[in-house]
Structure 1
Amino acid sequence: MEFSALGGPMDEGQILIHEVGYLEENDWWIFPNTVSPFWRFYYNFDPGHHVVFRSHTIPLEPANMVLIPDHQVFDSRGMGKVRHFWVNFSLDLALKKGDSVILPIRQHELDWVTAISKIIIGNDPRKHFNVLHQTSALLHSVFTRPEIPWNDHPRSPNALKIAAYIAKHYAEPLEVSRLAQTVGISARTLSDLFQREYHMSVPRFIARVRIREAARMLENTNLSIEEIAERTGFPNRYYLTRVFTKITGKPPARYRKDSLPGNRSDADSH
């Protein structure tokens, strides 16, 4: 279920939910080099699937929930049938360090996850409203837990505004100087800000957002690579292919092929 799909302006302390989902039988979860401008919340009711970072692997187990900050690169791996719940969201906080947080799930949090999952697959006439607000309650409960190593300072409002602007206008020409003008700062200040807040340059941030959208189109549409390049702000398919391969480790055509259910065993071998 989609809510604020492409982000938007945020106030301090606000959680912006983009997508909430539940699968009764998630029997194929092979997505290499996932890149997202949003945070992820994962919970599996059954063991068997994993999130893989460059340096470590996190099993998705019924006793734990996993938080993954924005702009991380990871693999999703799993082929056995599991009940899988997820939330994509944004907030103005950052971790002091680390690419993920593993938390033991408490009973009231599990009750929320269970209730939300039932609403998603049910016929509740107020499904959209109830999923949004119960998911908000779940995330607020999780984020107040003392185990999460939050950075002492919230993210800069200017960084959040620019990130939201990029998420909405990724298909348009995006120059650092023009982005800086939208919040009334210099291009150098904006560049320093993104290095401090997101640990990457502004052009790299833009590229990751565009590649995320390109990956979604490759997985879910029959658009040609030329059309996808045009719709995601790349000048041509060759430039898209070069950037896509650098970030995901695969050229677009191979990524599309491996994302097809008929190629499950082939994708799992990589």
Structure 2
Amino acid sequence: MIDRLQPKYHIGDHDFSIQYMSRNGSSSMPRPHEHPYFELYYLLNGERVYFMDDNVFTVKKGDLMIVNPHELHSTASSDKLIFERVLIGFSRTFIEQGDAAVANLLEHGTSRLVRIPLKHQPEIERLLHSMLAECQTEQTHYSSLVRSLMNELLIRLHRIETTLQSQTHEYEHPMHQKISEIAQYIKSNFHEKLTLEQVAKQFYISPSYLSRVFTRLTGFHFREYVQVVRIREAQKMLVSSRDSVQIISELAGFEHIAHFNKTFKKIAGTTPLQYRKRHG
């Protein structure tokens, strides 16, 4: 494996970060994750498999993934092992400090894949490389210039998206579509009893093959993904309702309250009651 991984440059604690990476070899995120800030993932070269919002995407050169805060996502290698990307994390506050109107562009947008037309790619890449250079050299007022470049990037992305026809999500591989359908099925039926064998039978796949491909494309073991979906749904119910923890555990698909409490703490890092108190 050949890597060129530059340091991750930061402005503030969680206001802004940017990192360049070039890699030749199979790789994937150690764990699917979420975070409280926006993320832009731009592929300069190569190809990646991206799992986000219950969908498997094939990301290619010139593609940009826009990830909203708290959206569970992961990346993995495709059949093409060489890739080069720039990753940006930023808060809404960071943008607002430059221009509140630009920050409003972040409202109501879903996490999505944007295929940047070839004619616009050089301009997008110029902005990315300019931000990297500013963070590397840290010349006078560099943070203000990075904010200005970031605002320009968001404006240009908005213009590009408004001129594009609504892009339909085309799956690169039949199993990408199948795994997306299974992830969406789990999300819609989290309250039911879900087993690998039952879901595999329903989607006409062998359990061992489903287990292997699901883990490779999503970063989750099948049973683990079911638990994560259930806990995330339970978190919503804890904040939006006054139902007891016992009732919420049942509505989320858990048969035993002790198992629910243990799983909740493992995934959320706190107990259900503490979570409700903190977010209610």
With normalisation by structure 2, the TM-score equals 0.48
Query: Which structure is higher in RCO with an 8 Å CA cutoff and minimum separation 6?
Result: 1
Q: Write 1 or 2 for the structure with the bigger share of helix.
A: 2
What TM-score do the two structures reach when normalised by structure 1? Answer: 0.50
